[in-house]
Structure 1
Amino acid sequence: MDEIIRKLTSRKLWAAAAGMAAGLAMVFGLDADVVATTAGAVVALASAVTYILTEGRVDAERVKTAADAVQAAADALERTEDGRA
């Protein structure tokens, strides 16, 4: 599942999709300015979403690491207080 999410958040995928959509829009006669603006918006949005998701994962991992360290310290303190150190 993580692999699918990673691929769906790939800027390369969204750039390729925007390029394909832009090409199809040109084939069907849409205005070039509209096509360029829309493609740019899609790529910019995909980049922003990818950044947000990536930073969220990094932050979540940092919190998990900190929680594990706090738990280890609490366990060590508990062993010390019980005289098991």
Structure 2
Amino acid sequence: MNNKIDWKRKLSSRKFWAAIVGLVTALLTAFKFDEAVAVQVTSVIMAFGTLIAYIFAEGFIDGKREEGNITNIINTEELKESKE
């Protein structure tokens, strides 16, 4: 049984970032922070989540490209020629 946490998958998960936002929003509300502060903090957290997911996705694609497993790359010149 492998108990190792797959952080790459977790950090690129929208559910994970939604849970973090929910936790932080609840804490900000509990400590009576202004609503505007909660919105700003939530926005920053989601921005980081989006950036991390993008970085992991690009890394995955680059890795597959190096392995030669990307088959859906279309050369735009070839596409133009096929339509003519």
Q: Same fold (TM over 0.5)?
A: yes
Max radius of gyration: which structure? Answer: 1
| Over 6 Å off, 4+ runs | none
- CA deviations over 1:9-35 (Å, ceiling 9, x no partner): 212101211111111111111111011
Structure 1: gaps (5+ residues): 67-85
Contact preservation (8 Å) 1:9, 1:46: yes
Q: Residue 61 of structure 2 aligns to which amino acid in structure 1?
A: V
CA-based RMSD of the aligned residues comes to 1.9
Counterparts of residues 3-42 of structure 1 (less than 5 Å):
3-42=6-45
Aligned pair count reads 66
Q: State the identity %.
A: 32
TM-score w.r.t. length of structure 1: 0.66
> RCO greater where, 1 or 2, for CA within 8 Å and sep 6 or more?
2
Q: Residue 26 of structure 2 aligns to which amino acid in structure 1?
A: G
Return closer, same or farther for 1:36/1:26 CA change in 2, 3 Å cut-off. same
Structure (1/2) with the larger helix percentage: 1
Distance 2:42 2:48 in 1: 10
TM-score w.r.t. length of structure 2: 0.67
Distance 2:53 2:47 in 1: 10
